[in-house]
Amino acid sequence: MKAGAALDVYIADDEAPARARLKELLADVSGEVATRVVGESANGLELLERLPESGARLLLLDIQMPGMSGLEVARHLSALEAPPAIVFITAHDRHAVEAFELNALDYLLKPVRAGRLAAALKKAQMAKPVEGERFARASPASREYFSVAERNRITLVPVAEVVYLKAELKYVTLRTRAGEHLIEEPLVAIEKEFAGRFIRVHRNCLVARASIRGFERGKGAAGGEDEEMQWNVVLEGVEERLPVSRRQWSSVKAAVPEAKA
């Protein structure tokens, strides 16, 4: 940011009086840090749609908002080429505060004070983008959405709609009934985060437990570990059959006993 230029700020809080109070405080500290409010939102979904086009360099983000938590919002924003610096705002919650401090995330406690806000603004002007893993570690809950960042826009894919995820080279193909998306996340991290929802059927593939409708016999890839006849998993909503490796077969069958083989 150029010296003397105003810092473009976006405000996200589900309570209108809280957003108004932050704007008043920004005006109060303008002598120390010049700012310009370029947008505001009352929930996370609206924020993810509007913020990328706002040009905001700093986001004042409430942790507890309807629809999506502030930590999940921050995690999705980290996929942008130039994500904004983020200062979280929260009521006094020891667990949240400890998580923020452990992961070096900046935060303000409600009620926000002018002096503390000014210090956070100055820090944000010098801050480097925070990697999404820090937001993940600070959050006690798994995400409700996967995010795909393209051309400075964020497309959200509900986790509940994902049928399978398959690792291919540096990307993971995320498959829903409607189509495919590419994401850059380690399959092992996804497996850990969503252990109750997805199960590994092959070294490079996770499938949604709820989408498994049965198993059928098929032939494996020539030269591979499953070259002989093997089991394939039948998934609801997609025609593709996915191989179950010999190593994973017993655990997959035991995890989904209602599926027909």
- Show the tokens assigned to 119: 């210090």
pTM (2 d.p.):
0.86
Residue among 90, 53, 71, 78 at smallest CA distance from 128: 78
Per-residue pLDDT tens digits for 226-258: 456 689 999 999 999 999 999 999 989 888 777
Across 28-37, 67-76, 155-164, least confident range: 67-76
Q: How far apart are CA 67 and CA 46, in angstroms?
A: 10
Delineate the domains of the chain, giving CATH numbers in brackets. 7-138 (3.40.50.2300), 145-255 (2.40.50.1020)
Scan for tokens 């700012």, then name that residue. 35
Please measure the distance between the N-terminal and C-terminal CA atoms of the chain and give it in whole angstroms: 61
Beta-bridge mates of residue 216: 232
96: burial class by Cβ within 10 Å (0-12, 13-18, 19+)?
Answer: buried
Per-residue pLDDT tens digits for 107-166: 999 999 999 999 999 998 888 888 888 888 888 789 999 999 888 899 999 999 999 999
Beta-bridge mates of residue 193: none
211: burial class by Cβ within 10 Å (0-12, 13-18, 19+)?
Answer: buried
